[in-house]
Structure formats: structure tokens, C-alpha cells
Amino acid sequence: MQLQKMDTNLFVVLEAIYSTRNLTRAAEQLHITQPAVSNALARLRRSLDDPLFIRSPSGMTPTPLTESIMPRVQQALSLLANSLNEHRHFNPAQAHKTLRLSMNDMVETVLLPRLLETLEHQAPGVTVESFYVPRDQLAKELAANTLDFALDIPLATAGQLKQQRLMQNRYLCMLRNEHPLANEASLTLEQYLQLEHIHVSSRRTGPGLADIALNKLGRRRTIKLRVQHYRVAPLVVLRTDLALTVPASLASQYTARLFELPFQIPQMDWHLLWHKSLHDDPANRWFRQQLLEVLTE
């Protein structure tokens, strides 16, 4: 197949059907009629010799060929759009956009209240969607423009991504103010090990950073509660005598007794990641700056 014989507008239709899984919604997104979308799909099917989508109860299901070409099609469309708009000035006060972010619940707790306060004043037309994308899917989603930014640990193998360090988090031990040890000047290792602990992990089994560090010392702590999210763990601490080893940026959100750890845990780096095709995009630049300012306060 020769690309010069293809109508590149057909790939715009292909991306709309892929993202909506529905011909009518694709037509609405493109501001054309549904028969026009059907006609464009028929032309693509003939050109690529593949059905591209199969009707199913859940909508238009992509064929394997469609799934294989879509990341590059979406990236090409994104690059074209960015090239056309590279000299356009981004005006946040007039922008109407959905900002899509991937992060865990701990970063949500630290970032979103401050970010929404900033957007409320500077970009009131911007809405925010926050969800978690697994690390092995981040590069794909950022390339496909289904995700604007990710806030995660550094990704050494993400060659298509740009990344910048946002913050470095040290760990603290958090106890409620009424805890029997709350009036201590500091915690010894023996006191830490005598406590019952909350362990936060999305996995069902396996050690955390504190456990790995203690194992190197030949010691072990007692895990009383294992939970999926950092957001709930401090609430348990505030109502019990359980201890939580927690990043300082999250611990500072609560009125509780905080201790430096009596052993060493490597600090956690959090990076902002975005696709390199959008590095010079004015809107992407503006949002990057807001995220950096909010998280480096």
C-alpha cells in the first residue's frame, strides 16, 4: 500500500472510532454525519484489507491489525497537531481541556488540593481526571495521547518519554498524639520493632521498603494491618496504637506525632513524565510548570 494514495483524513476517523468504540459518537466528535463515518471506515477497510472493527454488544471492537497500528497512528496525529499548533499561544484562562493524570493515592492526596486551587484561579475551564496506569503501560498511553502526564518513580527504559524529578520523599514513623510513645523525644530501633505496624501495598504479599531495610539488619517488624492505599492508613493510625511508616509529604497532611526512623530507608524520588512529542507544546509546557510549582512548594 502506498501512503500517497491514502486519504490521511481517514486515519482521523479511524482514531475517533477507536477512542469512542461507536460510529455515532465518533461522528459527533468529528462534527460530521454518521454515514460519512461509515463511508470512511468502508474505504479504510478496502485499503487495508481488514475489517478493522467488529460489531459486538460492547461496541466496535478493534481487530488485531487495528490494535497494532493505533499507537503509531495516534502518535502521528499528535505530532501533526502539535506541528500545526506549535506557534499558538496557550491561554489558560480561556482553555477548555481535560487534564488526564496517572498517579497513586498518596500523590493524589498531596497534589490535587493544591493543583485544583491553582486551576480554579488560572484555568477555570480545565477539568482533571486522575487514575492509575500500570508502569508498563505508561509509555503506550502517553504516546497515544490518552494520558497527559504520569507522576511516578523514574522509568529507566522509557525512551519515548521526558521526565523531571518533582520531589524526594524521606520516610517517617507516624503515631497518634495519644500514643504511649508520643511524648518520647525519639524512637529507638527496639521501640520501633515493639510497635504493631500498618503496611501499605497494592500487592497481596511481599515486603515493603522498611521491611527490606530491616531484613538487612537481621530484624523484622510486626505487621498488624496490610492495606492497598496510603490514604486510609493515617486514618487508622489516628484511631489506634498502630504505627505507619509513611512518606513525609503525606504525613504532613495530618495532626500526628512524627518520628525520624531509627534506621535508613532510601528516599523515594517522584518524577513527572510526559511524551517527548509534546515537549514543546504550549499547553503541555504550561501544565508542566503548574505541576512542578505545586509539588516543589
CATH fold for domain 92-162+270-295? D-Maltodextrin-Binding Protein; domain 2 (3.40.190)
pLDDT score at 255? 93
Provide, rounded to the nearest whole percent, the portion of the chain with pLDDT above 90.
Answer: 56
pLDDT score at 169? 80
pLDDT score at 136? 85
Q: Give dist(CA 109, CA 37) in Å, integer.
A: 42
**CB neighbours of residue 289 within 10 Å:** 10
Cβ atoms of 42 and 57 within 8 Å: the answer is: no
Cα distances (angstroms) measured from residue 130 to each of 83, 139, 250: 27, 17, 18
Query: What is the architecture, at CATH level 2, of domain 3-85?
Result: Orthogonal Bundle (1.10)
- Please tell me whether the overall predicted TM-score, pTM, comes out greater than 0.75 for this model: no
pLDDT score at 135? 86
In sequence order, the β-bridge partners of residue 257 are 175
Q: Give dist(CA 75, CA 144) in Å, integer.
A: 6
> Residue 142 has which C-alpha cell?
502517553
3-85 and 171-266 have identical folds: no
Which pLDDT tens digits describe the chain residue by residue (297 residues)? 455 567 778 889 999 999 999 999 999 988 899 999 999 999 999 988 999 999 988 889 999 999 999 998 888 888 777 666 544 678 899 888 899 999 988 888 888 999 999 999 999 999 999 998 988 888 889 988 899 999 988 776 667 889 888 877 889 999 999 999 999 999 999 999 999 999 998 788 889 889 999 999 999 999 999 998 888 999 999 999 999 999 888 888 899 999 999 999 988 788 899 998 888 888 999 999 999 888 776
Query: What is the architecture, at CATH level 2, of domain 171-266?
Result: 3-Layer(aba) Sandwich (3.40)
> Residue 293 has which C-alpha cell?
510549582
Q: Give dist(CA 33, CA 27) in Å, integer.
A: 6
In sequence order, the β-bridge partners of residue 126 are 97
Q: Where are the domains of the chain?
A: 3-85, 92-162+270-295, 171-266
